[in-house]
Every structure is written in structure tokens, then in C-alpha cells.
Structure 1
């Protein structure tokens, strides 16, 4: 069964506003202070312009962080039935995200060396900077994507859950599972991660792909142990 819920309209605005009260109370005064400092920096030479920019940036960062935490925390955990026990709860592994971010660091370092310590044309540090920025951006995006995906295995069902600005869940009762399979590339096998595919039929709504999880064999084995055919044996 697949369920989805998308908050929208005025109720979404009110809900986010109420939940962001603390973030607004903290960030708005800092942003206002930054605006005041910027105005004074134009008339008073003792007030540097960067102080206003720094204050505004800090306030906006706090506001964005508050919005992010609000968006993630606005959606409930799946309702569990009476006596239902959570066996496994996983996010996709962060290893690919960390690898991309790690690759970007030496590229930024090389960019700084090419820009400061050499007489090469600016196109060379620009290229290394853009490549590093691409790896960094891909890593950060993968990190946040994986953070919002949760795979849950209970003694009654397998659940896929994605939550950020909307909630999407897909679940398959254990009694309807007809196939459990594992998929791993060579790199995934070497790094101890992989994908567990849980199917109750044909079609995306009848399949849950638990992608890029650590130790997928343990997840697959836990699911197999709950199948009616296994329990009867």
C-alpha cells in the first residue's frame, strides 16, 4: 500500500510559522542588526561594512537551518500497530557523500595554490575550483537526500519513508512479500554496502528498493526470517 501526504495552502504556512517561532525570534533581530550596521557603515567610517554582511548572513543561515529542521520534523513517524516491533531502521549510507566531499578538499587546496603561488592564467584555478565545487555540491546533495530517506523493517512490514517538504511512504506487509533479493556493485561489495529489493508483485508500488545501505545481508536475512514459509519450517 502506498500513502502520501502533501501539506499545502494556508494551513501549511500557518503550521510552518508556528513551528519556526524560535528560529524567527532568534534570526530576525540578527538580520535587523546587520541591516542597521550596513546603513551606519555608509555614514560612519568606524563601522566596517563586512560586519553588517556577516550579521545578515548569520541570521539567514539560522533562519534556513530553522526552516530545514521544521520541514524535517513536521511529519510523524509511521504509526505502529499494537505489539509491532521495529527490527531494523536504516538510512542510505553516507559513504558516497563523504567521498565526494573529501575529493573536493584537495581540489580547493590546489585552486588556492594556483591562484596565490603561481603566475598561471586564472582559467587554471577557475577550472580546478569548478571541479571541486561540483564534487562538493554533489556530496552535500547526496548527504541531504540520504538523510531524508528512511528504511524500516518491523515484524509485520517493510517501510520506505521520504520526508522533507512532503511525506511519501511505501510499505509491504510481510505476508505479501514474494521475493527478496540483494544487489551490489564491485565497489559496493568492497565497501560493505548494497541494495535490498523487497517485492510483492510487479510494479514500482509493489517494490521497495532499500538502496545503498550498510550490511544489506543482515537486512535481507531479517526479512527472510519473518516470511511465513520460513517460520513454518
Structure 2
């Protein structure tokens, strides 16, 4: 899997892309990341990437020329998606991450800034818009990192125990069950007896019940 990140702040990605599972996956060439700064594709002496909106309004918009030029400079893989991360996009869900991990070779992610982007970027360049949720952030780099992390961890070789991916929240449209580790008693709180019973059939039944109850209580929309 190859990621091209169109960003005004490439340094934002330096530490996250070198850390933990994501860093190891990139080191092992399970995935590759290319950072592209649209400011490098400007043609004016001030390297302007934003301008005022037609019709008036607050804030600035990313101009189409440097964004188009940055994306069009990239090599094109057979299975590619050009993504704009924006509050107006499709909510990012586990099923979408799985689709990207299985069915795509290249994800181009455009990180928005300011008040957004010129609509022509949306209409004529972007093939999918993705949102982290109903809230606004200062930049598109944070959702871009979230998307990269979510996809890369699903690629073969990233996570040591593949079985662990199959038992996570949202894999079956249910939240995960409560989990405990040692000590068996911490202050006045004890690990449920069933988990210490050694009876795997009872444990599996308890976990399924807990998943259903937790999902009903916290995310009934998933049921």
C-alpha cells in the first residue's frame, strides 16, 4: 500500500510515521508514504496556496492550482483513491478501512486547511471525501494520520497476531467486551470470577453477553 499525503506541513508526520507499529510497518516496506507540499507547486514569488472566497466571507480557501499540480505530479497506481479529509465527508468506519486495505494500492490524501478548499478540487480531483466525525479540527493532518494508521494496521505483516484483528470492536458491529489483567484484585475491584474460572465456553458466552450489553448501552445505532 502506498500513501501520498498532500500537506502544507510535512514535518507534522515525522514522529508519528516513525513510531510504534506504524513505524515498523514502514521500515519493513509493508506500506510506503510520500509527503507532497503543494507550496512547491506554486508559480508566484510569494508561494501563495490560499486566497479569499468569491462572494465574500470569513477565512481563506486553498487554491486549486497548487493542489491539482501536486496530485497530478504523482504516479498513478491501478487501484487509487484521491481522498479529501473534511467534516463534510463520509464517516470513517472500520468497514471503510478494510475496503481500503484490501481493494486499493494507492491512497492520495489531501489535507485541508483554513476555511476549506476551492470547490473545483472537490468536483474534479477528489474521488472520495472522509470525515472523522461531526466536529472541526485546525488541520487535515490529524485525520490523515488516523486514516493511515487505521489502514496500515490491517495490512498483512503489521500486527503480529492476525486473530486479534478479528476480535476487535466494530469487526462484528459490536463494541469490545471488558478486559482485565493482573492483579485479580485492585483496591476493592475484582476481576469477574468467570474470567478466572478456566472454563472457556463460559468465558466466551460472558464476553458475547458483555459485547451486546455494552453496544446497547453505548452505541445502539450499531445494532
TM-score range, shorter chain: under 0.3
Larger Rg: 1
When the two structures are superposed, what TM-score results if normalisation uses the length of structure 2? 0.24
TM-score with structure 1 setting the length: 0.23
